[in-house]
Copies of this chain bind each other. A is one copy, B any other.
Amino acid sequence: MPTAAAVIIGNEILTGKFADENGPYLIRRLRTLGTDLRRLVTISDDLDAIASEVRRCSEAFDLVFTTGGVGPTHDDVTLEGVARAFGRSLVVEPRLVALMEAYGVVPDEMTLRMARVPEGTVLEESQASSYPILRCENVWIFPGVPKLLQMKFEALAQRFAGDAVLTDRLYVTARETEIAVPLAEIAARFPNVDIGSYPRFGEGDYRVIVTLESRDPEALRQAVHALRGTLPLREASKPV
């Protein structure tokens, strides 16, 4: 089952100038693709921060997605950061220069930075655009503009797919402190089922939402059965 990390690059998110749309999008899409997003990190346009985060994610996860910092301006340092993560040089990719020129971009010291990629970068073609997505090892380098990211991600989505995750949830009327012991016992009995417990205050006729998820339908069914036999539930506990 592929694991993934997303690295959202941009001061504008951390300073609240723009709300992050890319993190929530990747959470949702990777979920429906059945790929486990394990880490979502928002960092500033800082070379060292990018390099160290990308290196760490690349080692720990199957897929790494970066968003942002790939334009021509001074605050676009993602390509340089990825190069540093892998200890590689930046090299001018002539096919990117040609594509930029075809888009009417005049090559100058700044715009050429968009074509200066980490050595060994693969140009991944898709239906989305004649301009490819750059991939360096397992790091997929996406633009930060949400519409562009989404268009390009959708065109490549099957490359990132895993197995579907099945879920259920129960609405518990007791307090979390009252169910922690039996919940822990059942969680230990079903290691293939991820059981989460989330207290809620003033939301309705329940005090805790217990969620279950698994890629094993029979284990999920048995865990739900065990919890239903143990926890005090409100009447209509419905699936997600």
CB distance from A162 to the nearest CB of B (A): 13
Is residue A177 contacting chain B, with contact meaning CB distance below 8 A?
Answer: yes
Stretch at the interface among A88-96, A126-134, A191-199: A191-199
Query: For residue A44, which residue of chain B has the nearest CB?
Result: B38
Scoring A19, A105, A181 by chain B CB atoms within 10 A of each residue's CB, the highest score goes to A181
User: B42 touching A111 by the CB < 8 A rule?
Assistant: no
Query: For residue A41, which residue of chain B has the nearest CB?
Result: B41
| Choice from B16, B40, B108, B184 contacting A28 with Cβ under 8 Å | B16
Query: For residue A75, which residue of chain B has the nearest CB?
Result: B196
Scoring A72, A106, A109, A147 by chain B CB atoms within 10 A of each residue's CB, the highest score goes to A72
Bound together, the chains give a CA A200 to CA B18 distance in angstroms of: 12
A186-239 CB contacts (< 8 Å) to partner B = 187-188, 194-202, 211, 213
| Choice from B75, B106, B213 contacting A15 with Cβ under 8 Å | B213
Interface size for A (C-beta < 8 A) is 69
Bound together, the chains give a CA A10 to CA B38 distance in angstroms of: 10
Known: A24-B19, A110-B184. A195 touches B71 (CB 8 A): no
User: A41 touching B39 by the CB < 8 A rule?
Assistant: yes
Q: Which residues of B contact A202 (CB under 8 A)?
A: 147
Q: Which residues of B contact A74 (CB under 8 A)?
A: 180, 183-184, 187-188, 195, 197
Q: Which residues of B contact A106 (CB under 8 A)?
A: 177-178
CB distance from A218 to the nearest CB of B (A): 21
CB distance from A43 to the nearest CB of B (A): 6
User: A15 touching B42 by the CB < 8 A rule?
Assistant: no
A1-31 CB contacts (< 8 Å) to partner B = 10-20, 23-24, 27-28, 31
User: A42 touching B44 by the CB < 8 A rule?
Assistant: no
Query: For residue A31, which residue of chain B has the nearest CB?
Result: B16
Smallest CB-CB A-B distances: 4 pairs: A110-B180, A73-B197, A72-B180, A74-B184
Question: CB within 8 Å of B: which residues of A?
Answer: 10-20, 23-24, 27-28, 31, 37-45, 49, 71-76, 100, 105-106, 108-111, 144-145, 147-148, 165, 167, 169, 175-181, 183-184, 187-188, 194-202, 211, 213, 240
